[in-house]
Structure 1
Amino acid sequence: MTDVKSSDELLAAGGPIDRQWPEFVAREGQQQMAIRVQQSIDDQVSLLVEAPSGSGKTLAYLVPIVMTAQRAIISTASRYLQSQLFKHDLPLIQGLLGSHRKVALLQGRSNYLCPYYLDKNTLRLRSEQESSGGYDRQSYQQLTRLSQRFRNTGIGELSLLAPELAPGLLPHVTSSRDDCLSTQCPDFSRCPLMAARQQAEGADIVIVNHSLLFSDQVMRKEQLGSLLPSAGVVVVDEAHRISDFAQTIVGLRLSSGTLKSLCRDVSRAIQVGAPEQRLILSRLEKLQSGLSKLDAHIPSAKPYHRQQHVDVINQLSIALRQLRRDLNIVKQRDHSFVQLEIRTGLIVDRLNEIVSYKGLCWVQGRENGFVIQTIPLTISLLIKELFQQSPCSWIFTSATLTVNSSPDRFKRVLGLDAVNFYQASSDIDFQRQAMLYTPKIPVDPRKDEFYDYYVEQLLPLLAAAKGRVLCLFSSYRGLNATASRLRRKGKAVLIQRSPRDPRRVDNYKLVAQLKNQPQGILLATGSFWEGVDLSGFPLSAVAIDKLPFAHRDDPLIQLRSQELSGHGVDSFSEYLLPDAIVRLRQGCGRLLRRVSDRGVIMIADPRLQSQAYGQDFMASLPSMRRAVTVSEIESFFSESKSE
C-alpha cells in the first residue's frame, strides 16, 4: 500500500491516484470531504455530509475506508450503486493504492436459493405427476436442473446459478421473512443466504443496501448473526432514502401468499399422511375459503380505522392456532408435520406481534391477494438502536440532505440532532452551466389536457437542445401520455415501461441505448430520478412534468398523514412538501455531473409559480439563470456552442 496516509493527499493533483488514472480530475470539494470522513473514522464520531453533483462523493469516502484498518460497511439505496461499488469503484481504488482489503457484496434473501423450498416444491410437482399425471412438466424440469446444478457447484446466488430462471419460479426456490424456518430449518447448514452472511462477516469491507442494514437488526433478533457490532465505520450513501427503507424493513409483514402456501402444504400432507382426519381437512377448507373471500373484502384504508384491520388479523390468528393444535395431534406420524407445525407457529407469532404493534397496522390489498403489515411512525428510535448496537463512526451522505439549505428536517426524522453536518463544495458552476426553464402553462397539471400543453413546450426544447434529453415523470400515466403525443409528432423515444409490461427492459439497457443515441430522448420515472448512473455521457436537458409530490390517494401516504395530523403536525409542510423538494433536487441533479456539462432544466408545473410553496422548491435548487421563453433557451444553447 502507498506510504501516503492522508486522504486529501491521495486525491490531490499530482497524487498517486492522479498519476495513475488518466480520467481522474482533482477536486477541492472532494479532498475536503475526504479529510472530514477520515477524521470521523479516526475519532470514532458520526458525520452528515451533503455532497452535490460534481463533488466526487464516492471517492471521498472510499479512499479513507480503503486506507483505514477498521472494518467498514457501505450501505446504498440502489442495487445499481451496489454493483458499481463492488465491480468497479473499489477494485479500481484498491488497485491504484496497492490495497488488498477483502470485499464482500451481500444482497437480499430473494437473490439466494433456498434449498428447503427448492426440494419441497420439486417433490410437490413430482407427487402431482405420480398422483394424477397432470403437472407443470416445464417447471419440474427447471427445478430439477436447478437442484442438480446447486449440488454440483454449491453456488447459491441465483444471478450466477440460474440467470435464465423464469420469474414465476422465483417464489418456489427462495424464502421470505414470512416463511423462513431460520435455525429450525433442516437445510440450515447448507443455506446460501447464511453462507453469504458468514462470508460477509469475514470481510474487511461489506457492501449492502439499506434494506439489509435494517434486516441485520431483524436477523440478530432471530439469532442469525450480525454484521454491525464488528464494524468500525458505516457509510450510508443515498442517505435521503434511509427513512423509506427503515419503515419497510423494520415493520412486520405477512403476505396472503404465505398463508395460502401453508394451507396447501398442510392439506397435501394430511391427505397423504393422515387421510382419516376429516375434521382437520374440513377446518382447513374453511380457512382456505376465508382467505379467498378476504382477497375481495379488504378493510378500507380510506379512512383508516385500526380496529377493522385488527379484527381481520385476530380471526386469522384464531384459525391458525387451531391448525397448529391439529398438527400437534398428528406430528408423530411424519417429520413433515413437525415442519408444518413450526411454520404455523411462526406465522401465529408474527400475527400476534402485528396486532400488538404501536405503529400503523393494516391489511393492504394487492393485485393477487393481500399483505398484513405494520409501519413505524418514526424511525428515530430505530436509528438510535443501531447507534447503540454499533458505537462506531457513522457517515450519512447524499446529494440532497437539506431543505431550504437546512439539514434540520433530516436530523429530526432520523434522531441525529447531535451529529455534525458538513456541506461539501462542488466545482460545477450552475450560473454558467445551467438554465432553469419554467414555461407558462395555463392548465392545472392534474387535468388530462395538461400534457397537450406540456408537449407543446417540450418540442422546442428538444429542437434547441440537439442532444440527449431525459424526461422525468411522477407517474407512468404522465409518461405514457407524453410518449403517445411525441410519437404522433414523429419523435422516436426510449421508454421506461412499468414492471408489469412484458416489453420492459432493465435500466442498464436503457442507459446503454441512450448513450448510443447522441440525440436520444428517454422518458422515465421511478429510479431514474436518482440512483441510476448517467455520468458516462452528457445530457443536454432534463425535463420534469410535475412537482414530484407523493400521490395523496396512496393509502400509505394517507395513513401517515392522518397519524401526523392526529398529533397536531401539519402533514403537508412537515412530510409531503419536504419529501417532494428532496425528490425534485434529485431529479435536477441528473443534468450536470462534470464541470464540462451544460444544459437546461425544464420544470413545467405551473404551481411552481402560482403556489406559495413554489418558493420553497426554488430556494432549495442551485442558483441558476431563469428562462420563460423558447428564445432564451435557444440563446443559452448558442452560447454553449461558442465556448
Structure 2
Amino acid sequence: MSPIDDILGEGGELEQRIAGFRVRSQQLEMAHAVDDALKSAGTLVCEAGTGTGKTFAYLVPALLSGLKVIISTGTKNLQDQLFNRDLPRIRDSLGQSVSAALLKGRANYLCLHRMDSAEFDRRAASPKTMELLAQVREWGRKTRRGDIAELTMIPENAPIWPLVTSTIDNCLGQACPDYSKCFLVEARRNAQEADVVIINHHLLCADFSLKDEGFGELLPMADAFIIDEAHQLPAVANNFFGTSVSARQLQELCRDILTIYSQMKMKQSEVQEVANALDKSVRDFRLLLGLDERRGAWEELAADSHHLKALEQLHEKLADVIEVLEALKGTDESLDACCERAGQLSRHLDLITSDEDADSNVRWFETTRLGFRLAQTPLEIAEAFQKQMQSHANAWIFTSATLAVGGDFSHFCSQLGIKE
C-alpha cells in the first residue's frame, strides 16, 4: 500500500485518529491524482463533488510531499477554516512537523502608521469612530499578528478599518517609520519561511498583476500551487489583469492628502485647495451618473457629452494635484507617496479613456450608492494566466465541486489557457 492509502484508506491513520472519519473511494482517487501531479510537477484539474472530502484529499499529499505548497481558497472564511481546523487535524494525525502560515491581503492587517495619524482624518470626527479608534489602539498595543479579525467586537464593515489599515496605494513601504514593526511585513516573512502557505484568490492574482508592474512578488516562491474553489478564479483574475479607477481611490487620495496637510508645520494652501477641488469633481461626476446602482457599457457613458466633459474636468483636477505635489517633492515622504498614487491614477485614466486596444479589451463603468468605478478588462486572460503558470514552472492543482460542464472541463481550461 502507498502512504496515501495508509492514511486515507481502510484502517488508515485518519480513520483511527479522527472521530467520524469514513473512507471514501473518490477521496482516495483524488488524493492519488494530486500526489501524482505534485511528484511530476504537472497540472491537474479535478472536480470533487460535495461529500468527497477534497480538502483532506489535497492536504494529505501536500503535507507528505516535502514541497513548499501555496494553497489558495475562494474566501477569507475558507482560509481561516483551513488554517485553524483542517490543516492542524491532518498535521497532528500524521505527526508531521510541517510549518504553516496564513497570509491575507494588506487590508486585513493593522497599519501602525495610519493608526497613529487616524485622529487627523476628518472621517474620525464622530464620537463613535473615536471610540472605535480607542479600542483599536488598545488592542494594537497587545496583538502579535495584527490581524483585524481578532477584534471580533468591531464589525468587518465598521468605518474605522479604512483609517487604520493600508492599501497598495497608500502604503509607504520601506519609507514608513513603522516598517520594522509592520504586521504585514511580519506575515510575509512567516510565509517565506513556512512549508505550507494559505492565501486566497484575490491575493494570488494581486501578486501576479503586481509582479507584471515590476513591484516584485508578494508571495514566496513555491514548488506547487493548489487552487481550491477554482471555479471562482477566472472572474477574480479577470479583474486583476485589467485596469480600473474608482471614486473610492480618488477620494481616499484626497483624504490622505488633507490628513497629511493638517499635520504639516509649514502649511501650503495650494495642497488643500487642489485636494478639495478633486474631491468635489469626483462627487459631481458621481451625481451626473444618476442615482441608480448599475453597470453599463463604456459606449453609454461616452455617448453623453456632459459625462465626457465632467470626466475631463476630473482628469484636469487630478493633474492639478500632481502639479502641486510635484512642486513639494522631498518635503514629506507621505506627500511624495500621494504624488506617486495620483500619477498612477492619472495613467490608469488615460488607459481607460483611450480607444487603443479596443479589440482586446472591454471598457465599462459601474455605480454604487456613493461611488463609481471605471474599468478596462481583457476579453481573455488565458494568455496572461498561462504566462504566470509557466514562469513558476511548478505543479498546479485546480479543484472545486463545480468545474465541469456536462462532464467536460474544456470551458474552465480555456478560460485559464490550460492545454494539458
Q: Same fold (TM over 0.5)?
A: yes
Residues 1:109 and 2:103 are matched in the alignment: no
After superposition, the CA RMSD in angstroms is 3.0
Q: How does 1:133-212 map to 2 (within 5 A)?
A: 135-160=125-150, 162-165=151-154, 167-212=158-203
**Structure 2: gaps of 5 or more residues:** none
Flag the 1:284–1:409 CA change in 2: closer, same or farther, 3 A.
Answer: closer
Match of 2:400 among 398, 401, 404: 398
Distance in 1 of aligned mates of 2:95 and 2:376: 47
Residue 321 of structure 1: aligned partner: 319
Give the direction of change, closer, same or farther, for the CA distance of 1:142–1:380 in structure 2 (3 Å limit).
same
User: Is the contact between residue 76 and residue 200 of structure 2 (CA under 8 Å) also seen in structure 1?
Assistant: yes
d(CA) in 2 for partners of 1:413 and 1:183? 37
CA displacement at 1:262 relative to structure 2: 2.6
Partner of 1:255: 246
Hey, what's the Cα distance between the residues in 1 that align with 2:114 and 2:372? 22
Give 2:409's aligned residue: 407
Greater Cα shift, 250-259 or 85-94? 250-259
Question: Cα distance, 1:7 vs. partner?
Answer: 1.1
- Preserved CA contact (<8 Å) 1:251 1:375: yes
How has the CA–CA distance of structure 1 residues 391 and 337 changed in structure 2, closer, same or farther, with 3 Å as cutoff? closer
Task: Give the TM-score taking structure 1 as reference length.
Answer: 0.57
Any conservation in 2 of the 1:8–1:32 contact (CA below 8 Å)? no
The 3-state SS of whatever aligns with 2:42 is coil
Q: For residues 83 and 344 of structure 2, what CA distance do their matches in structure 1 show?
A: 35
Displacement after TM superposition at 1:306 (Å): 7.8
* Other structure's SS at 1:253 match: strand
Partner of 2:390: 388
Larger Rg: 1
For the pair 1:49 / 2:83, whether they are aligned, the reply is no
User: What is the distance in 2 between the residues matched to 1:227 and 1:77?
Assistant: 17
1:513 corresponds in structure 2 to none
- Greater alpha carbon shift after TM alignment, 16-25 vs 397-406: 16-25
Q: Paired residues, what number?
A: 405
Contact 2:297 2:363 in 1 (8 A): no
Shift of 1:196: 1.2
| CA–CA distance in structure 1, aligned partners of residues 351 and 181 of structure 2 | 29
Residues 261-280 of structure 1: pairs in structure 2 closer than 5 A:
261-267=252-258, 277=269
CA–CA separation in structure 2 for the residues paired with 1:91 and 1:411: 32
Query: Whole-Å Cα distance in 2 between the matches of residues 259 and 233 of structure 1?
Result: 38
Q: Deviations over 1:289-348 (max 9, x none)?
A: 322210112399645418828876554333222222212334465555434434433433
Aligned AA (2:145): I
AA at the equivalent of 1:137: P
Task: Give the conservation status (yes or no) of the 8 Å contact 1:178–1:253.
Answer: no
Residue of structure 2 in register with 1:305 after alignment: 299
Query: Partner letter of residue 391 of structure 2?
Result: Q
Q: Which secondary structure does the structure 2 equivalent of 1:168 belong to?
A: coil
Q: Distance in 1 between matches of 2:217 and 2:410?
A: 34
User: Partner letter of residue 226 of structure 2?
Assistant: V
Unaligned 5+ runs, structure 1: 129-134, 419-643
Aligned amino acid, residue 133 of structure 2: L
Structure 1, residues 244-294: CA drift from partner, whole Å, max 9, x if none? Answer: 11123333333212322333444565576565746x655554433322210
Per-residue CA deviation, residues 120-147 of structure 1 (Å, 9 max, x unaligned), is: 2223469x9xxxxxx4234234324423
Alignment partners' CA distance in 1, 2:351 and 2:174: 20
Task: Give the distance between the partners of 2:165 and 2:71, measured in 1 at CA.
Answer: 25
Alignment partner of 2:34 out of 31, 37, 42? 37
Q: CA–CA distance in 2 between the matches of 1:178 and 1:306? A: 29
Secondary structure, counterpart of 1:53 in structure 2 = coil
Question: CA–CA distance in 1 between the matches of 2:333 and 2:197?
Answer: 38
Residue pair 2:362, 2:377 contacting (<8 A) in 1 also: yes
Q: Which residue of 2 aligns with 1:373?
A: 375
Contact 1:236–1:395 (CA under 8 A) maintained in structure 2: yes
Measure, in 1, the Cα distance between the counterparts of 2:54 and 2:273: 62
- For residue 91 of structure 2, what is the aligned residue in structure 1? 94
The one of 57, 62, 76 aligned to 2:59: 62
> Could you report, residue by residue, the CA deviation over 1:45-78 in whole angstroms, capped at 9, with x for unpaired residues?
1111112223222211111011111111111113
Q: Distance in 1 between matches of 2:87 and 2:164?
A: 31
Letter in 1 for 2:106: R
Question: Is 2:339 the counterpart of 1:341?
Answer: yes
Structure-2 change in CA distance of 1:313 and 1:293 (3 Å)? closer
The alpha carbon displacement at 1:99 in A equals 0.6
Contact 2:297 2:364 in 1 (8 A): no
The answer (yes or no) to whether the contact 2:121–2:255 under 8 Å persists in 1 is no
Matches within 5 A, 1:67-78: 67-78=64-75
State yes or no: 1:288 paired with 2:279: yes
Instruction: Normalising by structure 2, report the TM-score.
Output: 0.85
Residues 313 and 351 of structure 1 are in contact (CA less than 8 Å); yes or no, is this contact kept in structure 2?
no
Distance 2:395 2:90 in 1: 21
CA contact (8 A) 1:114 1:191 kept: yes
The match for 1:19 among 16, 21, 30 is 16
| 1:82 equivalent in structure 2 | 79
Corresponding letter in the other structure for 1:391:
A
Residues 39, 82 of structure 1: alpha-carbon distance in 2 compared, 3 angstrom cutoff: same
Classify the secondary structure of the residue corresponding to 1:175.
coil
The answer (yes or no) to whether the contact 1:310–1:361 under 8 Å persists in 2 is no
C-alpha separation between the residues in 2 aligned to 1:335 and 1:70? 41
Residues 337 and 405 of structure 1: is their aligned pair in 2 closer, same or farther, counting only changes over 3 Å?
Answer: closer
**Identical residues among aligned pairs (%):** 31
Question: How far does the alpha carbon of each residue in 1:351-381 deviate from its partner, in whole angstroms, 9 at most, with x for none?
Answer: 3454468423333211112123332222212
Report the residue type matching 1:75 in the other structure: S
Cα 1:156–1:352 shift into 2, 3 Å: farther
1:174-213 C-alpha deviation (Å, 9 max, x unpaired)? 2233433444544443332222122112110111111111
Work out the CA distance in 2 between the residues paired with 1:210 and 1:116: 27
Tell me how far apart the structure 1 counterparts of residues 330 and 406 of structure 2 sit (CA, whole Å): 66
State the Cα distance separating 1:154 from its structure 2 match.
4.4
- Contact 1:82/1:207 (8 A) holds in 2: yes
Task: Give yes or no for contact 2:31–2:58 (8 Å, CA) kept in 1.
Answer: yes
